Every structure is written in structure tokens, then in C-alpha cells.
Structure 1
Amino acid sequence: MVMRTTSDRITALRPGEIFVFGSNLGGLHGGGAARLAWQRFGAVWGQGVGLQGQSYAIPTMQGGVETIAPYVDDFIRFARQHPEMTFLVTEIGCGIAGFTPAQIAPLFARARDVENIHLPARFWEVLGR
């Protein structure tokens, strides 16, 4: 299995690349990666879920890890349906939301074999090969 790793510092995107960030359900992109997505990659203020511009929002602020899982599952399905896009997943939930990679990475276990999903290095450390 190839470990497709997201850069720790994303400042620009190539055509077809999508910045995947942690959001809140209200789409108030005021801090962290959400703010970057809003300022640079087309995230829409007021939209907390899904594809918007060159970004994809996964809500992480609404409760425990179990509340994030359905949104990650939806994201993985979406990525499988859109092989023309490359999804650069940030450490969603590991900033303002307060989770650790050990808590969030297992939600992405099914993404390991999806060729157009790139995961953060610390998620790969948890998931292994």
C-alpha cells in the first residue's frame, strides 16, 4: 500500500486538488484550517459540510468522535465517486476541536486504499500500512 501523505503546510493547490478541513456545522470558518479554506480555497461562510470551491468541510465541533464518523464516511464515498480530484486531508479535529490523531485517524481507516485521498503523516502513524 502506498502511503499518500498530505503536506503539513498547504499554502496553494494545483487544479483538481481539494483541501479537506475540519469545520463546524454552522460553517463559521473563523480559525485554523477552516479559516485558511475560507480565505484561500473557496470555503463558503455558512456551509459546514461538503465540497465548496477547492475545499471539503468535515464537521468536527458538534460532539464526540462518534458524531464525526458519519461525515468522514460520506467524505470517503464522495472521494471514491470523484477520482478526478485529489483530496488533501488535514488533521481534522486535531486543532480547535481538541481531538488527537489517535482518536481521529481510525475514522479514515477505509481511506487507506482510496488512491485520491492523501492523509496527514500523524494519521498514517496511527493507521500503519
Structure 2
Amino acid sequence: MTITTLEPGEVFVFGSNAAGAHGGGAARFALDRFGAVWGQGEGLQGRSYAIDTMSGPTVFEEQARRFVAFAADHPELRFLLTEVGCGIAGYRPEQVAPFFTGAGRNVELPASFRRVLARRAPGAEGEVP
């Protein structure tokens, strides 16, 4: 899914860095199109939500979990998650999709993340008990 516009109530979720220097990739797109704030590396800003993917996997996972909780607290919004961490940060979907386990129905995961999570679901083919 390529996100170029947002409908009312939709939020663009992108990967950032701790400094909130939104200079490239989806972060630059969020800055230019969806109200991302230069200098804000995490959280809701305009019609976008930043997750720091550049400060290591522990920080990334913590921020992803905070995002999942934030989305759960805002069922009136629909969050369109890009392949956060899979561009400039250099992660693979297999590494980071599990960070978003438990995301609610108002979080639209990228297809690559959905495939990873479906393979990991209890009862999925190849699942080890």
C-alpha cells in the first residue's frame, strides 16, 4: 500500500530518529505532507505519528509498543503504518513486525508485516508449540 493522501481521521505512521530530523524517506514525506514536526522524534504530530527506528531495536520496540497503546486509546482514528524501520534503518519485516503484535483494528499494517504476524500466530503452519 502506497500512502499519498489521508482521509479524515487517518494518521500516517512513519519511522523517525530521536532528533526528529525528518530529512528523508517516509519521514520527509510526513514533514512535507502530513504535519510532522522537525525536532519531534516520537508521537503524534499533525496527521502523522513518529516512531524512532534509528536508536536501536530496544528503543524501537518500546516506541512501537507505546504506539500500539496510543492507537488503542484512540479508536476514533485509523493509523496507516508504513514499513517502519525497513528503509533507512535497515531492518527486515521479520525483525520488526512482531513489535506491532496486538495492534487493534484501527491500525492498518503493511502487507509484509501482516504476513510475518500471520506466520507467527498460534496454529499457523510451522508454528512450534
**TM-score, normalising length from structure 1?**
0.90
Letter in 2 for 1:50: G
Specify the SS of the correspondent of 2:109. strand
Deviation for aligned residue 1:115: 1.2
- Report how far residue 126 of structure 1 moved: 0.5
Aligned structure 1 segments of 4 or more residues deviating by more than 2 angstroms: none
In structure 2, the residue matched to 1:92 is 84
**Separation of aligned partners in 2, 1:97 and 1:73:** 18
TM-score by length of 2: 0.90
3-state SS of paired residue (1:21): strand
Structure 1 portions without partners, runs of 5+: 1-6
Deviations 1:64-120 (A, max 9, x none): x22211101110111011011000000000000000000010111111xx1111100
CA RMSD of aligned residues (A): 0.8
2:43 matches 1:53 = no
Aligned length: 119
Residue 124, structure 1, aligned to residue 111, structure 2: no
Match status 1:21 vs 2:11: no
Match of 1:69 in 2: 61
Structure 2 unaligned runs (5+)? 122-129
Identity of aligned residues (%): 59
- Measure the CA separation in 2 of the matches of 1:35 and 1:103: 24
Distance 2:106 2:88 in 1: 26
Distance across 1 between alignment mates of 2:105 and 2:114: 14
The CA distance in 2 between the partners of 1:103 and 1:14, in whole Å, is 30
Matched residues in 1 for 2:71 and 2:52: separation? Answer: 16
